[in-house]
Structure 1
Amino acid sequence: MLVSFKQLAFLALMTGAATVDAQKTGRTTRYWDCCKGSCGWAGKASVNQPIKSCDKSDNPLANMGAKNGCESGGVAYMCSNQSPWAVDDKLAYGFAAVKLAGGTESSWCCACYKLTFTSGPAQGKQMIVQATNTGGDLGQNHFDLAMPGGGVGLYNACTNQYGAPPNGWGKQYGGISSRSECDAFPEKLKAGCYWRFDWFQNSDNPDVTFEEVTCPKLLTDKSGCIRNGQNPT
């Protein structure tokens, strides 16, 4: 059957509209609590190994079952290399605590998602994050972006690990408010703290559209975690 140019144009328009309509929408917040991520435990998902955790001095731990530093007597903390970084002016990589509608932790632990920011100063920029954590205080389709100085939220291991104030750096929720405050951070956390005010332009919990993507090898090399059947690129 012959299809006219007008029909092709109409089909393309309809296909494009369907693609836009099919995009998932979500929200973001920010945090850095220094705790061992919930995807750091064996059996959480179908993966090669749990995400890496670090000791108090930021050295990777061989014992994947080490107790969370957020708990009394805990020795396992979030590694500093799980901070975000800019790939270029429009793309960044990082990690996040995640909760998705219709899923469970086993379905998103160590999966990667491409976020496109749709509001705030970072609007139009994209970020690929690997899910390393979740949270009981997260809503649906919620990405809590890990960034040093972003606020400790419910839990705080930063005081134990780095000597941060009792409620973490800045406010418990939201964290610090100015770039200059990053200057006093532990050396390994400074770059991730500056990232928020430079690449991210101090965006305040922007909305996103998102889709699951194959994890970049640059992310899985840091976390150590790859979902079974996936080949990072």
Structure 2
Amino acid sequence: MQVSLKQLAILALATGAATVDAASGSGKTTRYWDCCKGSCGWSGKASVNQPIKSCDKSDNPLANMAAKNACESGGQAYMCTNQSPWAVSDTLSYGFAAVKLSGGTESSWCCACYKLTFTSGPVSGQQLIVQATNTGGDLGQNHFDLAMPGGGVGLYNACTNQWGAPSQGWGQQYGGISSRSACDSFPEKLKAGCYWRFDWFKGADNPDVTFEEVTCPKQITDKSGCIRSGQNPTAGVDGTWVPTATAAPKARGEGKLGIQEMF
């Protein structure tokens, strides 16, 4: 028992998150960025202090949590650009994702955080802690659709209206752009999250993961505004990460996007 507690303590220090007695297992990842309001942005989805923040067309946080999704006709609520991923070290990043877990519902995963450890591809062994801000009707079980600018819009696209992206989004509709240089023409607020994919994420194409639920780091909840009832965000990890190389491998652009829930 002492060994187990010590291992948990080391894990919490290394990742900036405390493990909780909840969901864990093996899963898969895809990628997306459709600029739509996340499905965890409405009241009543889960027991939380408030839904995740959404933003207006100019990326200003909306006070009206009931604002209509920009992926619907006449909608004004978009995904906030600060819900892009960012690196805190060579082996750890923070971010957000659409999530679907076996045996669960949105009430069990909205605004929960999960520590993903990649088990395949160039990022094998690296870890990403994500908060669930969205879900998708076409996601499989234990599926994390990672939010990253330029990751593909899929069926729904608010990026054209918000940022003037091509009609099918940047790059391929599913999978997005295929080179780091394509990020250079992105809106300024989306560039860092786009570069992240080819720098820290090494252009990985839908790597497999193991996952476990953890208490959200404060650095994540400060961006989303959403905390699950009964949880106190951890101190998390602060850090300034600089890529070790100027070039990164290209992704194949084969990612499958999770469908945004429209209610």
TM-score by length of 2: 0.80
CA contact (8 A) 2:215 2:231 kept: yes
Letter in 2 for 1:172: Q
Residue number in structure 1 paired with 2:255: none
CA distance in 1, matches of 2:113, 2:157: 25
**What residue in structure 1 maps to residue 215 of structure 2?**
214
In 1, Cα distance between equivalents of 2:186 and 2:210: 32
Query: Following the alignment from structure 2 to structure 1, what is the Cα–Cα distance between the partners of residues 128 and 102?
Result: 20
Amino acid at match of 1:100: L
What residue is the counterpart of 2:261 in the other structure? none
What CA RMSD, in Å, does the superposition of the two structures yield over aligned residues?
0.9
Which residue number in structure 1 is paired with residue 148 of structure 2? 147
CA contact (8 A) 2:24 2:213 kept: no
In structure 2, the residue matched to 1:182 is 183
Go from structure 1 to structure 2 and tell me whether the alpha carbon gap of 1:194 and 1:111 turns closer, same or farther (over 3 Å shift): same
Q: Over residues 23-64 of structure 1, what are the superposed CA-to-partner deviations in whole Å (9 max), with x where a residue is unaligned?
A: 610000000000000000000000000000000000000000
Alignment coverage as a number of residue pairs: 212
Q: Write the mapping of 1:200-211 to structure 2, written as runs, cut at 5 A.
A: 200-211=201-212
Matches of 1:131 and 1:168, distance apart in 2: 23
Which residue is equivalent to 1:59? Answer: 60
Deviation of 1:101 (Å): 0.2
Q: Give the match for residue 161 of structure 1.
A: 162
Alignment of 1:65-144 (within 5 A): 65-144=66-145
1:43 is matched by which residue type in structure 2? G
2:55 aligned counterpart, secondary structure: coil
8 Å CA contact retained: 2:157, 2:169: yes
- Counterpart of 1:192 in structure 2 is 193
Q: Using the alignment, how far apart are the partners of 2:83 and 2:37 within structure 1?
A: 11
1:97-153 CA distance string (max 9 Å, x none): 000000001100000000000000000000000000000010000000000000001
Q: Aligned equivalents of 2:215 and 2:167: distance in 1?
A: 38
Letter in 2 for 1:186: P
| Larger helix percent | 1
After TM superposition, the runs of 4+ consecutive aligned structure 1 residues lying more than 2 A away are: none
Secondary structure class of the residue paired with 2:54: coil
Which of the pair has more CA radius of gyration? 1
Aligned mates of 1:147, 1:167 — CA distance in 2:
16
Gaps in structure 2 of 5+ consecutive residues: 1-22, 235-263
Query: 1:154 Cα deviation (Å)?
Result: 1.8
Moved more, 22-31 or 91-100: 22-31
Where in structure 1 are there 5+ consecutive unaligned residues?
Answer: 1-21
Report what 2:225 is aligned to.
Answer: 224
Secondary structure, in 3 states, of the residue corresponding to 1:211?
Answer: strand
* Partner Cα separation in structure 2 for residue 221 and residue 184 of structure 1: 28
Match of 1:17 in 2: none
Query: Partner of 1:180: helix, strand, or coil?
Result: helix
**TM norm structure 1:** 0.90
